[in-house]
Amino acid sequence: MSDLLSELGKKLAERWLTLLVLPGALFLATLAAAWQLGHTGWYEVGRLLEITDGKAKSLSASVAGTALLLIVFLLSSAACGVVAQAIGSLLERLWFAADWRRWGPPLRWLAHRRVARRQQRYRLRRDEVGRVAALSHALDGSARQDAEAELDVAARRLSEISDEAPRRPTWMGDRMQAVDIRLHRSLGLELAVVWPHLWLHVPEPTRSAVTAARTEVSRAAALGGWGLLYLLVGALWWPGLLVPVVITVTARRRARTATDGYATLVEAAVRLHVGGLARRLGFPHSTGPFPRRLGEDLTDHLRRGEGQQ
């Protein structure tokens, strides 16, 4: 037991250092440098080195003061990491926007306007895909090949908005919503009802893959939180504005990629294992395609519970 606790403590300390302290220390050092340089002396890097060297000499004279300053610096770094994680959690909620209809009036109004615009763009690009598809069927030879290549481009442009008709204000929210729509349309399942039960049924490799994909989404959101924190650096030192821009763009790209992978794995897990869940709950189903009627019965069963049958 002592070995287990020791190993657990090492892993927790490593995660604390990697996720919170080191990024926080980098942020505080950059913030201190921005404070010293300011907007007017933004290019005087040599002066920054002189100030740093002077501070280091003054601190080295007092061992107790240095130790105390180091402890305060580490705790402040960890605090910055916690703030970045909290901002990342808020970003994650905004990105998925699952409950946008319950947001406060200003945010809800803005989200509603964005959903309407995305729906309009989706209809226009969907009509474009239909026109190009009809044209490709009417042609033959090299002209048809060119039309099919144009159809691929039009289909990609459509998927950049959403895989299904938009219902949320963000691409990532609609990417997850599309999984629910497709599963309900083809299998008669409601993902919010079935998923908790299915999660307990799927084998460990599937859970590990889905958990890893979900963790990547959270890491991308945390990176976005750091990007927003680095706006403080830009406020003190205008060249520092490049840092939050790069971090935010990177976080957004990583979040889109991670969300797409997560949604794909969730849908695959449901399609592969829902039959086993149905059999485990006593529904007659052999191997093969999962009938939509069975999905509706399974959803109803899980929603109402066995005690209310």
Q: Give per-residue pLDDT as tens, 222-274.
A: 999 999 999 999 888 888 889 999 999 999 999 999 999 999 999 999 999 99
Q: How far is 295 from 274, CA to CA, in rounded Å?
A: 9
Kindly report, residue by residue over 90-132, the tens digit of the pLDDT: 999 999 999 999 998 889 999 999 999 999 999 999 999 999 8
- What is the arithmetic mean of pLDDT over 29-42? 77
Residue keyed to tokens 């302290």: 21
The first and second tokens of residue 196, run together, are 């908790």
Kindly report, residue by residue over 159-200, the tens digit of the pLDDT: 999 989 999 999 999 999 999 999 999 999 999 999 999 999
pLDDT above 90 coverage of the chain, percent: 53
pLDDT for the residue numbered 52: 59
Q: Rounded to whole angstroms, what are the CA distances from 70 to 33, 63, 75, 150?
A: 17, 10, 9, 60
Q: Is it the case that residue 135 has pLDDT exceeding 50?
A: yes
* Nearest C-alpha neighbor of 28 from the set 68, 64, 63, 75: 75
pTM of the model: 0.84
8 A C-beta contact, residue 167 and residue 96: no
Q: Rounded to whole angstroms, what are the CA distances from 303 to 200, 276, 306?
A: 16, 18, 9
8 A C-beta contact, residue 162 and residue 115: no
Secondary structure tally for the chain: helices H, strands E: 12, 0
Kindly report, residue by residue over 200-221, the tens digit of the pLDDT: 999 999 999 999 999 999 999 9
pLDDT for the residue numbered 270: 95
